[in-house]
Structure 1
Amino acid sequence: MFKVAVIGECMIEINGEMFGQSHQAFGGDTLNTAIYLARACDEVEVSYVTALGNDALSDGMLAKWQEEGINTQWVLRDSKRQPGLYMIQLDAQGERSFLYWRSQSAARYLLEHPEFDQLAQELEQVDMVYLSGISLAILPEQDRIRLLDLLEKLHIKGVELAFDSNFRPALWQDLSLARYCYRRIYGMTSVAMVTDEDEGMLWGDSCSEETLSRLGEMGVKKVVLKQGGKGALYQNLTNNSASTLIPTIPVDNIVDTTSAGDSFNAGFLSGYLKNKSTIDCVTQGHLLAGKVIQYKGAIIPREVTSPVIAIFNNLHAL
């Protein structure tokens, strides 16, 4: 069985009106991807790498992840801290704004946990590590470097790296530090999943061609450049092949775009890990994201995604 380790943070989610009707759930960019990937690909063992507290909310989150088929052996428990918290507010078009309380979350101090060194050695067992720019950004500066060093070690040992750039300026002390970290991680990335917006903020790119060229120079092997409603560009940067635009599948009823990119990544990777064609992989991403954004919250019910995921097995025949 192919093994994927997903590194990141999951927080308590409050979704709704300020001082009004709201719903409690959980979410986080990498955790969202981990859950949708586990749903979409039975042949893959998805493990989540993070830290939680010893509180009742942490217990409840852990139980929910296990119900989704997530391997939680690398979820460390921190008796001094709890999960972070975020609130989503939606406008009339389904676009979201966020408020965060995460500066003392257990996940932020994952690498300082006394059991992390043992966990790091066990990561050599996996075939792929997936993380995002947020996975790096939430860490204290010295821990970011430690994580990059660990990823480099795993890369040398043949572990494949998939990376979602997910650049959030508010989480970085300065742009030069962010660029240093991204430059290092791009140098060992097999599959980069990026957006025009994030790459423009981080590097000042003015067009897609500039982004693709720069990523190739930095060492990225394959890139998926997500362009919202337009679709996604895919390019294999190792063989000078041309980029391919796979149009998105229109959705009329957009309710909440919170987990659009995360679920797209899961749909894409579920095809990539089965060696499907580029078009099939990106189409799976579009299909899954298109379903997720029609519902509120980062994680929508399994029974809603099941019919879409059932299409994946026969996608090549469509």
Structure 2
Amino acid sequence: MAKRIVSIGECMIEMSGGEDRTYRLGYAGDTLNTAWYLRALLGKDWAVDYVTALGTDRYSDDIRAFLKSNAIGTDHIGTVPERRPGLYMIHQDKGDRHFTYWRDQSAAKLLADDKSALQKAVEGASLVYFSGITLAILAPRARGRLLGAIVKARDNGAKIAFDTNLRPALWSSPRVMASVLTAAASLCDIVLPTHTDEAPLFGDETVEDTAERYLEIGVEEVVVKDGAKEALIATSTERVKIAPPPAGKVVDATGAGDSFNGAYLSARLNGRSIRDAAAEAHRVAGIVIGHKGALVEPKFLK
């Protein structure tokens, strides 16, 4: 099977504000962030493709150009002429970061409308990555199409990785969110949840509870993130806890979890153990939080 990764989700326009109320335009999104770090950390023999939907406006064109210029494949990005990319603004208030979103008419909400295009996008992939946000922005039938394509990719030999990435505001109810995320996770080989996000929804008291819940539904490898605390990596035969290195100055925590995922998965794809992969993930996330923005230049990651 070709060395090819497919990451599926929403790329948004990011307007990041400083204390002086000036804003910097960029592009980000959880699955794009992870694709960025996979691309940065894997060799050139790996292809990393991004699957989403964009419009025909100048910002959609700019996103495509940005991805291409950073060696992230765009061949499977759909086009919805009447839609635009979603947008969010980050503003600072005495050191605290606040987010405001505009995504109701996001083209990415229609990324799974074309079943055949979606199946073609994941065809031949060695790893398919998606998130709870990917699912949350889709209509119920579109979620079914996406999960159907993922099942087919897995049947054809792809590994499936999934960050549950809970965003309650994007779901119709906590019950629906829990049901859909659990069903999706049961189709995956690697699940990368965050304990503090999962605990209120599922009642997990410990990181072990979070890991066991996913192992019980058939997930082979569960990587439980817990902020600045130890990460737990659990399989049916092994439990490993890895602490992050001493933290330096935290400049911007945006994308820390996404970079952790990208570094962990890249290490595993390169044949490293779960222990080594978790240590690498902590290392990269520690670098990312020392820089401004979700996407840190590859030269700083080595």
Change (3 A) 1:148 1:17: same
Q: CA deviation at 1:19?
A: 8.3
Partner of 1:127: 126
Deviations 1:294-316 (A, max 9, x none): 111111233333xx2xxxxxxxx
- The equivalent position to 2:295 in structure 1, one of 270, 293, 299, is 299
Q: Is the 8 A contact 2:76 2:117 kept in 1?
A: no
Q: Distance in 1 between matches of 2:197 and 2:280?
A: 22
Corresponding letter in the other structure for 2:234: Q
Q: Give the TM-score, by structure 1 length.
A: 0.89
Partner of 1:4: 5
- The equivalent position to 2:252 in structure 1, one of 253, 256, 266, is 256
Q: Is the 8 A contact 2:112 2:118 kept in 1?
A: no
Aligned pairs for 1:231-250 (under 5 A) are 231-237=230-236, 239=237, 241=238, 243-250=239-246
Partner of 2:90: 88
Deviations 1:261-311 (A, max 9, x none): 001111111100011022221111111111111111111233333xx2xxx
Partner of 1:281: 277
Corresponding letter in the other structure for 2:254: T
Q: Distance in 2 between matches of 1:106 and 1:281?
A: 34
Gaps in structure 1 of 5+ consecutive residues: 309-318
Q: Report percent identity of matched pairs.
A: 39
Gaps in structure 2 of 5+ consecutive residues: none
Q: Distance in 2 between matches of 1:247 and 1:57?
A: 40
Partner of 1:216: 215
Does residue 176 (structure 1) correspond to residue 202 (structure 2)? The answer is no
Q: CA deviation at 1:91?
A: 5.2
Q: CA deviation at 1:18?
A: 8.1
- The equivalent position to 1:51 in structure 2, one of 45, 49, 53, is 53
Q: CA deviation at 1:92?
A: 5.1
The 3-state SS of whatever aligns with 1:131 is strand
Q: CA deviation at 1:97?
A: 2.6
Deviations 1:131-173 (A, max 9, x none): 0100100111221122222222322332211001101111110
Partner of 1:102: 103
Corresponding letter in the other structure for 2:201: L
Q: Distance in 2 between matches of 1:295 and 1:133?
A: 26
RMSD over aligned CA atoms reads 1.7
Q: Is the 8 A contact 1:90 1:256 kept in 2?
A: no
The 3-state SS of whatever aligns with 2:192 is strand
Q: CA deviation at 1:71?
A: 1.2
Partner of 1:137: 136
Q: Is the 8 A contact 2:90 2:98 kept in 1?
A: yes
Aligned pairs for 1:141-220 (under 5 A) are 141-220=140-219
Change (3 A) 1:14 1:67: same
Q: Is the 8 A contact 1:89 1:98 kept in 2?
A: yes
Query: Which deviates further from its counterpart, 135-144 or 26-35?
Result: 135-144
Partner of 1:313: none
Partner of 2:23: 22
Change (3 A) 1:122 1:65: closer
Corresponding letter in the other structure for 2:22: Q
Deviations 1:42-75 (A, max 9, x none): 2321110001111111111111111111111111
User: Size of the alignment, in residue pairs?
Assistant: 300
Q: Give the TM-score, by structure 2 length.
A: 0.94
The 3-state SS of whatever aligns with 2:193 is strand
Partner of 1:77: 79
